[in-house]
Structures are given as C-alpha cells and as structure tokens.
Structure 1
Amino acid sequence: MDIRVVAFDHPDAAKLMAEVQLEYVRRYGSEDETPMDPAEFAPPRGLFLVGYLDNVPVASGAWRAHDGPAPTFWPGDVEVKRMYVVESARGRGFARAMLAELERTAVAAGRRRVVLETGTEQPEAIALYRSSGYGEIPAFGYYGDLPESRYYGKDLVRD
C-alpha cells in the first residue's frame, strides 16, 4: 500500500469518509456527528492520509492536534480520526500500516501522544489499538457520555 498525504477535501479522502460514514450507519444506526473543521487536518497541526493499492484508494486515517485542556488533552496530543479500510482490502494489514504512519508523522511533527475514540461495534478496531500498545483513557469529546464509546491513548515520545 502506498500512503500519501492529501487534503481533507481531496476527492479520494471525501470518497473514503463517505464510505466510513455508511459503515457507522450500518454498525451504530447513524453517522458520526463529531465536529471536524477541514483546517484542523492541514499541516503542521494535522494531516490526512490515504492509502492506495494500484492507485485505488483503499484506506484512510488522519490526525489533528489537541493541546489541552488537561486532563482530557495534554500539550503535544493528536487525535486520530477517520481510520478506515474498504471492505475488499480488509485483513491485509492496511489499518496497522496506516496507524503506524499516523504515529510516525505525528512524532515527526513534534507531537507526543495519540488519543482516539472508537466503539463497541468496532471490535476489530479495538483489537488493533490494543495490540498496537494503546491503553484505555478517560472519555472525551462529542460521544464522551455514550456507554458504547471506548477511548484509547498511546505515548509516542518518552521523556
């Protein structure tokens, strides 16, 4: 898989985000309504990545900087959003590769910790994050009060 930086509004990013929204509807009954400003995903305080297989977009992932307030966010945090792999490309390690690239680019941008939210209807995502060294953290954000939401974090830089 060839992973490329694209703009939040790039046609391939938009296509994959529309597909992940359909996945949320299938699994949870509605789209993800978390507020997201496209400017949050522009360097240097954010990044949107698309993975290509034979020039076909098959995976996405993004991060946006969060620097407080504590205890929810700490200086140097990034939040991962829009992790997705198209159904026909699942089971080939693309989500793990995308997550690793998100972490690598966050460190390169001087960020220190990754945080994210997922849900109980995404057991494969929970397994990916746990097996990649993510631990449970306190709830935050738009879905912070929903019992099916799960929150994870991982330190990227150790003092």
Structure 2
Amino acid sequence: MKEIIEFRQTGSENEDFLKLVIELEKHLTNADRKAHSECKQYNNLETIKHVIIAYIGGIAIGCGAIREYDTDTVEVKRMFVSIAARGQSVGTKLLIELETWAKQLGFKKCILETGNMLPDAVRLYKKNNYVQVPNYGQYKDMEKSICFSKEL
C-alpha cells in the first residue's frame, strides 16, 4: 500500500524545513562543493516566506519554497526530497503544490536555478514542463548553473 503524502504550507522558520535544509546543504556540498559555495549566498532563508513541506506518516520527507522575484514571477527555492523518499514522485507533487500556491498568490510565472551536477533535478524540471532559459540575475555568469522558467 502506498503511503499518503501530506503537504503543509508554512514559513522558513519551521523546524522541519530547517532540518531538511541542513540535509539539502550536505547534498549540494557533496554534489559540487565549489559551485554550492558560490550559490549559497543566494539562498538566504529570511527572504523566503512561502514554504511547503511534504510529510509521510508525520515525518518530513521533502520541501520546497517560493520567493517573489518580481510582481508576476516567483523563484522556486530549496527544493529537496530526502534520499529515502525518492522515487515516489514527491518532487513533482511538491512542485505542483508550489505552482498552485504561486497562482493563488497572483503570480503568473515560476523561475528557478539548479546545477548541471544535479541531473535528477534537471530531469524533474524538464518532466514538469520547465523550459531552460538563459541564466538570470546572479546566476548569469555561473557556468554550472542551469535556469528554467514555466508560465503558470
């Protein structure tokens, strides 16, 4: 029997979110220490107000967030699914929850940045109809960054 995934909207001060971010940071450092250290400065949790956490059986197994980029656009941030919970479409479901919330808040587009050292993340976004775009903002000159966009 497949376990039910529950999603909860919260903020960046949530303890479960902070624990998942620690796991995410370790994962990103292991994937590419240099690239992660360059991008880390752009992941300030204080600027993130909208977080969704995925739970199975009361245990936090994944997270994602959206942060206002401009009046029409949110940036997807801090997407992570713990290794034990992968392969259950949690990432796709989290992304859909984030997109739905963004639409409810009046946004028309999602953008995001990931790295070429994270092929699973790249596949997730492509599978969910995100289109690769030229690197934006602070990621413009980062050769390992890959940026995506999706109209909501």
TM over 0.5: same fold?
yes
TM-score normalised by the chain length of structure 2: 0.89
How many residue pairs get matched? 145
Moved more, 106-115 or 141-150: 141-150
Q: Which runs of 5+ in 1 are unaligned?
A: 68-74
Residue of structure 1 equivalent to 2:59 = 56
Residue of structure 2 equivalent to 1:114 = 110
The alignment partner of 1:106 has SS state of helix
Residue of structure 1 equivalent to 2:139 = 143
Which of residues 18, 23, 29 in structure 2 aligns to 1:19?
Answer: 23
Letter in 2 for 1:123: P
Which of residues 66, 89, 94 in structure 2 aligns to 1:93?
Answer: 89
Query: Identity of counterpart residues, as a percentage?
Result: 29
TM-score normalised by the chain length of structure 1: 0.86
Letter in 2 for 1:19: E
Residue of structure 2 equivalent to 1:40 = 47
Q: CA deviation at 1:39?
A: 4.5
Say yes or no: does 1:131 pair with 2:127: yes
Q: CA deviation at 1:40?
A: 3.0
Q: Is the 8 A contact 1:5 1:50 kept in 2?
A: yes
CA distance in 2, matches of 1:36, 1:147: 18
CA distance in 2, matches of 1:135, 1:83: 17
The alignment partner of 1:33 has SS state of helix
Letter in 1 for 2:26: L
CA RMSD in angstroms, aligned pairs only? 1.4
Moved more, 127-136 or 139-148: 139-148
